[in-house]
Structure 1
Amino acid sequence: MNVMTGVDKFVETQTAKISARGVQVHYGDTHAIQDVNVEIEDRTVTAFIGPSGCGKSTFLRTLNRMNDTIASCRVEGAILLDGENIYDKRVDPVQLRAKVGMVFQKPNPFPKSIYDNVAYGPRIHGLARNRSELDDIVERSLRRGALWDEVKDRLDAPGTGLSGGQQQRLCIARAVATEPEVLLMDEPCSALDPIATAQVEELIDELRQNFSVVIVTHSMQQAARVSRKTAFFHLGKLVEFGETGQIFTNPIDPRTESYITGRIG
């Protein structure tokens, strides 16, 4: 993966947790992301919206180097986390993903117990010195995932035996167990029913008190409900970024208005 040099010229604003500067993503000959510049604030929910195939999930995956796993992928530009380029050769992607957690579209609990699903990350990163500390991390994470009261008496049961909504909250608990600073969520509610979706949305609102949350969603209503900032992507470009209320009620770019009103997408 090739990354452009010259990162030193990029300066973050005081409130930015993540700064992307001139980000380009190529899959072989396909130019999937074109010259994206955006700053994501700490302890804020930022939503990425746009039509299917517009690049929003591809860009999300650059924020914790998930694209590293795709041989044909090439990322250029700079992505700074607290002022440090995450694509620097000295950065360990495994350690980065402990700081920038991810929750996927389809709940994907490990084929392990509920307890071991949550304990997995803290174990491999050495975050607990003994079983008592690990127990505390598991309980705290399941409480953050709004799941503790439902599973505290069956922690040895398989995570795959939970309902879809519970599985997604388990995956959120697993993601926050390593004490990340940023939580990425790629359409986390698209496989859930309305009740489970409402529970996850409520949880996102609580999580923003401790994390910078970035959510990709195909639902404009969801973006309007959960986010403070919204980025609209179209054809691999970041068209518009701003306060969610402004994006939805008074967009600057006509393409944004066309998407919001249903004329494109």
Structure 2
Amino acid sequence: MKDMRLTESTVDASEIKIAAKGVDVFYGDTHAIKNVDVDILDRTVTAFIGPSGCGKSTFLRCLNRMNDTIPSCRVTGEITLDGEDIYDRRVDPVQLRAKVGMVFQKPNPFPKSIYENVAYGPRIHGMTRNKAELDEVVENSLRRAALWNEVKDRLSEPGTGLSGGQQQRLCIARAVATAPEVLLMDEPCSALDPIATAQVEELILELTENFSVVIVTHSMQQAARVSQKTAFFHLGNLVEYGETGQIFTNPKDPRTESYITGRIG
């Protein structure tokens, strides 16, 4: 069956933050991602949806070269950030991950204080010249993560002592502290209760004032609430990509419709 991907000819090249062309991913002999083309727009939330094992998290991990950490993984094709090939040998993956931050499924604060969790990235990347500047980055990052008022009087306490929702917002603060341009989120709410999920979703929408956000989610309701663009993956293929409202109400590909209506999943 031919993939019926939406081409968005009205998109200006200057709006494209990340462009993927002909991306394939192999784990040993397993072909996990098959010839994916997608443009991720600046200051937009893009949701990746699809059944378990369809490749959406694998593809997400290509965008900041996290798959480099898996010995059996091989990525081919081209992925550019602001027009520069992120897989070029001259690109330092550590510097790339400062630009393309990541928040994982389960909150994973470092076993350090709340302050040190946020200060770690700016410190190792040499982003501040003194303690006052570092203090400012920590406060601003915690404010962006809507956490400052809850923790400002206990910054020296361990981050692991926070509630699950607070830990996830701490991880978001840690990710934004390095002033990334893109924030990747791999099912960031799957371990959270409904109240904490609502707080993180509200935060995602606020973050697009400064960042492109790409979120992998199993929840179609969440994708509909937070994203402007949606990409549907199935069996390693990017089946369809377009405006979120259109994907959910008028999908072009029958496989997308089957997933949205619950016939496959």
Q: Shorter chain as normaliser: what TM range?
A: over 0.9
CA deviation string 1:194-248 (max 9, x = no partner): 0000000000010011000000000000000000000000000000000000000
Q: TM-score, normalised by structure 2?
A: 0.95
Query: Following the alignment from structure 2 to structure 1, what is the Cα–Cα distance between the partners of residues 50 and 97?
Result: 25
Residue 22 of structure 2 is matched in structure 1 by 22
Q: Please state if 1:70 is matched with 2:85.
A: no
Residue 49 of structure 1 is matched in structure 2 by 49
Letter in 1 for 2:124: I
Residue 162 of structure 1 is matched in structure 2 by 162
**Off by >6 Å, runs of 4+ in structure 1:** none
Matches within 5 A, 1:143-182: 143-182=143-182
Secondary structure of the structure 2 residue equivalent to 1:17: strand
Query: Following the alignment from structure 2 to structure 1, what is the Cα–Cα distance between the partners of residues 13 and 185?
Result: 24
Residue 131 of structure 1 is matched in structure 2 by 131
Post-superposition offset of 1:13? 2.2
Query: Following the alignment from structure 2 to structure 1, what is the Cα–Cα distance between the partners of residues 14 and 107?
Result: 35
Letter in 2 for 1:91: V
Letter in 2 for 1:174: R
Residue 215 of structure 2 is matched in structure 1 by 215
Secondary structure of the structure 2 residue equivalent to 1:14: helix
Residue 101 of structure 2 is matched in structure 1 by 101
Residue 119 of structure 2 is matched in structure 1 by 119
Aligned length: 254
Residue 228 of structure 1 is matched in structure 2 by 228
Secondary structure of the structure 1 residue equivalent to 2:13: coil
Residue 38 of structure 2 is matched in structure 1 by 38
CA deviation string 1:133-178 (max 9, x = no partner): 0000000000000000000000000000000000000000000000
Q: Which runs of 5+ in 1 are unaligned?
A: 1-11
Query: Following the alignment from structure 1 to structure 2, what is the Cα–Cα distance between the partners of residues 163 and 57?
Result: 25
Secondary structure of the structure 2 residue equivalent to 1:241: strand
Query: Following the alignment from structure 1 to structure 2, what is the Cα–Cα distance between the partners of residues 62 and 154?
Result: 36
Query: Following the alignment from structure 1 to structure 2, what is the Cα–Cα distance between the partners of residues 20 and 14?
Result: 15
Post-superposition offset of 1:14? 2.4
Secondary structure of the structure 1 residue equivalent to 2:37: strand
Query: Following the alignment from structure 2 to structure 1, what is the Cα–Cα distance between the partners of residues 69 and 17?
Result: 24
Query: Following the alignment from structure 1 to structure 2, what is the Cα–Cα distance between the partners of residues 74 and 202?
Result: 36
Residue 248 of structure 2 is matched in structure 1 by 248
Query: Following the alignment from structure 1 to structure 2, what is the Cα–Cα distance between the partners of residues 230 and 190?
Result: 18
Post-superposition offset of 1:15? 1.1
Post-superposition offset of 1:83? 0.1
Secondary structure of the structure 1 residue equivalent to 2:18: strand
Q: TM-score, normalised by structure 1?
A: 0.95
Post-superposition offset of 1:181? 0.1
Secondary structure of the structure 1 residue equivalent to 2:169: helix
Letter in 2 for 1:228: Q
Residue 238 of structure 1 is matched in structure 2 by 238
Q: Aligned-pair RMSD on alpha carbons?
A: 0.6
Residue 3 of structure 1 is matched in structure 2 by none
Q: Which runs of 5+ in 2 are unaligned?
A: 1-11
Residue 6 of structure 2 is matched in structure 1 by none
Q: Please state if 1:87 is matched with 2:87.
A: yes
Secondary structure of the structure 1 residue equivalent to 2:48: strand
Secondary structure of the structure 2 residue equivalent to 1:238: strand
Query: Following the alignment from structure 2 to structure 1, what is the Cα–Cα distance between the partners of residues 250 and 182?
Result: 29
Matches within 5 A, 1:191-202: 191-202=191-202
Residue 60 of structure 2 is matched in structure 1 by 60
Query: Following the alignment from structure 2 to structure 1, what is the Cα–Cα distance between the partners of residues 28 and 177?
Result: 35
- Percent identity, aligned pairs only? 84
Secondary structure of the structure 1 residue equivalent to 2:206: helix
Letter in 1 for 2:136: D
Query: Following the alignment from structure 1 to structure 2, what is the Cα–Cα distance between the partners of residues 55 and 75?
Result: 13
Query: Following the alignment from structure 2 to structure 1, what is the Cα–Cα distance between the partners of residues 218 and 209?
Result: 24
